[in-house]
Amino acid sequence: MAVRKVYGSLNSPATLKVLACLFEHDLDFEFISVNLKDGEHKRKPFLTMNPFGQVPVLEDGEFKQFESRAIIRCMAHEFGKKGQELIYWDGRKQAIVANWVDVEDHQFEPPALKLIYELVVKPKNSLAPDEGVVAEAEAKLAKVLDIYEVRLTKFKYLASDKYTIVDLLHLPNLQSLMGTPG
């Protein structure tokens, strides 16, 4: 049995980011499903692992970490394979990676999550999307993707010519968006 445990939900993009990183590093782990609909993440004992009541949480022996980007940074530093690191050790290069992690967090993910909610989650629950919200989120996301397109004319990946945590962080939301109508 794996010592490392991930508490989360397969419906959570944040959890999927952490799982992608675990698979990228070929790490053994046990997945423990947290029932979000039942509010399991808002009660003890879950709140003892993350007082903010959000998934995912990584537990590795005595070490517990919450917040997907923090978990991914930790794993990238701790388990990076020589020649396949998802981070840089050089301070300036790492600052560029951090920049684009922040862009994913503050610019890309908010409109992406709105679109996923409106175009994926609502229809699964027999609810109609709010076309106004969809139009606004599409416009915001289009601006971000235009910037990405310019960036990708200069580099193979968003942060550099090497695949990093920045690219990995985009995977779950991009996968969901690729399955939306339009």
pLDDT in tens, 82-117: 667 898 889 999 999 999 999 999 999 999 999 999
- Do 59 and 108 fall into the same domain? no
d(CA 115, CA 13) in angstroms, rounded, equals: 13
Give per-residue pLDDT as tens, 61-91: 999 999 999 999 999 988 887 667 898 889 9
pLDDT tens for 143-164 read 999 999 999 999 999 999 999 9
CATH label of the domain that carries residue 65: 3.40.30.10
What is the domain range of residue 128?
Answer: 91-178
Domains held by the chain: number: 2
| Same domain (yes/no): 64, 143 | no
| Integer Cα distance of 64 and 5 in angstroms | 9
Question: Could you tell me if residue 86 is inside a domain?
Answer: no
- 84 falls within a domain: no
Model confidence, pTM: 0.91
Burial class of residue 69, CB neighbours in 10 A (0-12, 13-18, 19+): middle
Contact assessment for residue 113 and residue 141, using Cβ atoms and an 8 Å cutoff: no
Count of alpha carbons within 13 angstroms of residue 162, beta-carbon side: 12
Q: What per-residue confidence (pLDDT) applies to 150?
A: 98
Q: Is a pLDDT exceeding 90 seen at residue 30?
A: yes
What pLDDT, on the 0 to 100 scale, is given for residue 2? 61
- Judge if 97 and 41 occupy the same domain: no
60 and 25 share one domain: yes
Q: Tell me the per-residue pLDDT of 37-52, one tens digit each, with 9 for 90 and over.
A: 999 999 999 999 999 9
Give every CB contact of residue 160 below 8 A, 6+ residues apart in sequence. 88, 93, 96, 97
Q: What is the CATH number of the domain that holds 160?
A: 1.20.1050.10
Q: Are residues 69 and 27 in the same domain?
A: yes
Q: For 27-59, what is the HEC assignment?
A: CCCEEEECCCCCCHHHCCCHHHHCCCCCCCEEE
Q: What is the mean pLDDT of residues 1-10?
A: 87
The average confidence (pLDDT) of the chain is 94
Distance spanning both ends of the chain, measured CA to CA: 43
Check whether residue 170 and residue 95 sit in a common domain.
yes
Q: Bin 26: left if φ > 0, else alpha if -120 < ψ < 50, else beta.
A: left
**Residue 179, pLDDT score:** 79
The residue from 79, 104, 125 where one domain ends is 79
Residues 119 and 57 in one domain: no
The domain boundary residue, chosen from 25, 55, 79: 79
For 119-144, the pLDDT digits (tens) are 999 999 999 999 999 999 999 999 99
Cβ 111 vs Cβ 104: under 8 Å: no
**Residue 116 and residue 58 in one domain:** no
Structural domain ending residue among the three candidates 79, 105, 124: 79
By the 8 A CB rule, do 65 and 71 touch? Answer: yes
- % the chain with pLDDT above 90: 87
pLDDT at 104: 98
Q: Are residues 34 and 63 in the same domain?
A: yes
Q: What is the DSSP string of 96-135?
A: HHHHHHHHIIIIIHHHHHHHHIIIIIHHHTT----HHHHH
State residue 181's pLDDT score: 65
Are 101 and 53 found together in one domain?
Answer: no
